[in-house]
Amino acid sequence: MPEQTAFTVRSGDVTRWSQTLIPTLREAPAEAESPSHVLMLRAGYIRKLGAGIYDYLPLATRVLSKVSNIVRQEMNAAGASELLLPVLLPTELYAGTKRDVDYGELLFKIHDRKNASYALGPTHEEPITELVKGSVTSYKQLPVNLYQIQTKFRDEARPRSGLLRGREFIMKDAYSFHTAVEGPGGLNETYDAMYTAYSNIFRRCGLSFVPVEAESGPIGGSASHEFMVTCESGEDTILRCPVSGYAANVEKCEIGARPRGTFNEPPTGELTEVHTPNLPGIDEVGKFMKVKPDRMLKSIVFEIKGSEGSRDQGTGKARWALAVVRGDHDVNEGKVKIAVRAITGDEKATVALADEKAARAAGFAIGYVSPRTVNSVPGTVLLVDNDASGGGFWASGSDKPDHHVKHFNWRREVGAALDDASKVCVVDVRNAIVGDPSPRSEGAKLEAAKGIEVGHIFKLGTKYSEAMGFEVLLADQQRKPVIMGCYGIGVSRTMAATVEQNHDADGIRWPMPIAPYHVIITLLRVDEEGPKTTAMEIAKKLAAIGLDVLIDDRDERPGVKFKDADLIGVPIRLTVADKALAVGAVEFKVRGAAEGANGGGKGTLCPLADVVSWCAQAARDGGLA
């Protein structure tokens, strides 16, 4: 701490439990399931107002503001400026970008008294682009990076896990505008700065996290990274290469070189048809036929939409993509798209899971499709995953309802088409799984971990600026759409993810930097003036060096106070009571250290004169800057 500066150094807060609202619960409400949800409810951080809608009580608000402040500091340091945009957005704003349609049901739509249509902002690409478009008149004003911390809305199909997936949540979203991708002031420079800022933010929050390569999703764009807080209860699976450090989510993860089959292995037997009625999934079919899923071929039909956006039936152009993977693998749509672009040469082609009716009409026996349809359905390209391309025994659909076949053999069943590179290729079209070869380090195998996405950065490119007509005249007299990036952090989700990652049987264990209070003073006898005065004096001294202090001055029994202190998760506990005071000391304990059998643990006697230095040291050890 600097002894003297021209400006006020932040002093800590002192709050008395009896004067604030921390309604702890002995039993968790039945509706809560995930650890963060249960604990934040029980510890009096949040209350539910409706599905996916929560009150933030004082403790939660303190955590949120600490997270927000770290976010602000790092964003500001990285050259971004804070602003505040409206939540309420006229639907016309989406006219150019069509995101009201793309976002679909997720967009929270409302109507005013005149029945005009509005959306509650889920993110703010449109309003920010509108704003900057109207304010930036010269390329010389770029680049600029603007952010806000604000409540966002999504009409989630299924809100769940408390704050982890709500319909209303707090998010920091930043948007940058550039005239170039490369070079000083370019998108890449800001993207990299954001990557660093995000790493700083989550590190400073005291979280274990990993940045992973990701698909850019409905926001659109070219490159993106997700920041994942690692924890067992995470919904997302991330894959990592232990050697190179490569990490990606399942949707994006590449797979290293794999051997491919030759298609020319000898058959294992006569092609045999098996009647397999009323079996919904590949596992059921496999069980019925007594074939392991990894010896079955799963054929999924995708519809190709060319860059013209129209379907080209009968013109010789590809209309269908049949992705074939092993029965125990999952097809990856993003990889199918890439493969389709390569095989058709159409760089803007997109794919979507085929509409069942349309696919049936074209000749696919959905549910019973085999690779043979590359010959029977015109305009079909066949994308065979490496692991599905070899010889040996295969079971497959039979191209007619309720039947499968055994002893499928590539050469015998599909024939010459296999050699036509414009119709068939062997590529990676499946999701990576644990144990797959690393794409970045030969011989290394991918490892899996669970995580919660708390941050996401995108290179948007010109998607929004083009749609909304935001162009600037560059130095070379060329008029070009502005290049954008966007960068989000789920602030309320970060709080919840922190709890998911940092808790024990007794309650929350906040990392020091974002704990609602750094120190809780547990006052055992409230009816005696001496201890009370001592507690207040200690609190003032701690506040003076910038620590936030909660004094539990409730008239409760010691057991209740200790349990509650552990529950709400304040990192340092000082117990002020007769015995220690008699020897001029208080009891000092760091949350989680040397817990007794039932969460007990007495801590150590700390002479009154040393209380401030002990707490300061513990706060520093806990990562408080």
Partner RNA sequence: CGGGGCGUAGCGCAGCUUGGUAGCGCGUUUGGUUCGGGACCAAAAGGUCGGAGGUUCAAAUCCUCUCGCCCCGACCA
Q: In the set 44, 52, 234, 397, which binds RNA (CB under 7 A)?
A: 52
Which positions ≥6 away from 514 have C-beta within 8 Å?
63, 66, 67, 70, 205, 206, 495, 498
Which positions ≥6 away from 224 have C-beta within 8 Å?
213, 214, 215, 216, 217, 456, 457, 458, 459
Which CB sits closer to RNA, 79 or 603? 603
Residue 525 lies near RNA (rule: CB under 7 A):
yes
Which CB sits closer to RNA, 377 or 432? 432
Minimal CA–CA distance to 542: which of 573, 583, 502? 573
Min CB(398)–RNA separation in Å: 25
Min CB(598)–RNA separation in Å: 5
Q: In the set 287, 348, 579, 620, which binds RNA (CB under 7 A)?
A: 579
Minimal CA–CA distance to 194: which of 74, 72, 66, 68? 74
Residue span 541-560 as binding mask against RNA, x where in contact by CB under 7 A, dash where not: ----------------xxxx
Which of these segments, 157-165, 286-294, 339-347, 430-438, binds RNA (CB under 7 A)?
157-165
Cβ pair 394, 279 in contact under 8 A: no
Which CB sits closer to RNA, 199 or 268? 199
Pairing of strands 320-326, 297-305: antiparallel
Strand intervals (E) in 345-468: 350-353, 380-385, 395-397, 403-406, 424-427, 447-461
Quote the Cα angle for 415-392-405, to 5°.
65
Min CB(623)–RNA separation in Å: 23
Min CB(192)–RNA separation in Å: 21
Q: In the set 600, 613, 617, 625, which binds RNA (CB under 7 A)?
A: 600
Residue span 427-466 as binding mask against RNA, x where in contact by CB under 7 A, dash where not: --------------------------x--x----------
Scanning 290-417, the segments in alpha helix (DSSP H) are 333-344, 356-362, 373-376, 410-414
Min CB(429)–RNA separation in Å: 16
Dist CA 24 CA 27 (whole Å): 9
Q: In the set 213, 506, 552, 553, which binds RNA (CB under 7 A)?
A: 506
Residues that bind RNA (rule: CB under 7 A) add up to a total of: 68
Min CB(333)–RNA separation in Å: 9
| 3-state SS, residue 527 | coil
Which positions ≥6 away from 99 have C-beta within 8 Å?
107, 125, 126, 218
Q: In the set 405, 601, 622, 624, which binds RNA (CB under 7 A)?
A: 601
Minimal CA–CA distance to 511: which of 173, 66, 111, 170? 66
Pairing of strands 447-461, 81-82: unpaired
Which of these segments, 43-51, 133-141, 238-246, 416-424, binds RNA (CB under 7 A)?
43-51
| 3-state SS, residue 211 | strand
CB-based burial label for 395 (10 Å; 0-12, 13-18, 19+)? buried
Q: In the set 183, 217, 281, 345, which binds RNA (CB under 7 A)?
A: 217
Residues numbered 321-360 forming contacts with RNA, rule: CB under 7 A: none
Residues numbered 557-576 forming contacts with RNA, rule: CB under 7 A: 557-560, 562-567, 575
Which of these segments, 13-21, 198-206, 416-424, 488-496, binds RNA (CB under 7 A)?
488-496
Min CB(135)–RNA separation in Å: 27
Residue span 240-269 as binding mask against RNA, x where in contact by CB under 7 A, dash where not: ------------------------------
Which CB sits closer to RNA, 439 or 488? 488
Which CB sits closer to RNA, 189 or 553? 553
* Secondary-structure percent of the chain, ordered helix, strand, coil, rounded to 5: 30, 30, 40
Which value, to the nearest 10 degrees, does the dihedral of the CA atoms of residues 29, 30, 31, 34 take? 90
Residue 100 lies near RNA (rule: CB under 7 A):
no
CB-based burial label for 390 (10 Å; 0-12, 13-18, 19+)? middle
Which CB sits closer to RNA, 277 or 596? 596
Strand intervals (E) in 141-192: 144-153, 168-178
Min CB(346)–RNA separation in Å: 23
Min CB(171)–RNA separation in Å: 7
| 3-state SS, residue 246 | coil
Which positions ≥6 away from 92 have C-beta within 8 Å?
none
* Helices and strands in the chain: count of H runs, count of E runs: 16, 32
Min CB(236)–RNA separation in Å: 7
Residue span 16-35 as binding mask against RNA, x where in contact by CB under 7 A, dash where not: --------xxxxxxxx-xx-
Which CB sits closer to RNA, 6 or 597? 597
Residue 218 lies near RNA (rule: CB under 7 A):
yes
Interface with RNA (CB under 7 A): 24-31, 33-34, 37, 42, 48, 50-52, 106, 154, 156-161, 164-167, 169, 171, 217-219, 226, 235, 453, 456, 488, 490, 492-493, 506, 524-525, 527, 557-560, 562-567, 575, 577-580, 587, 589, 598-603
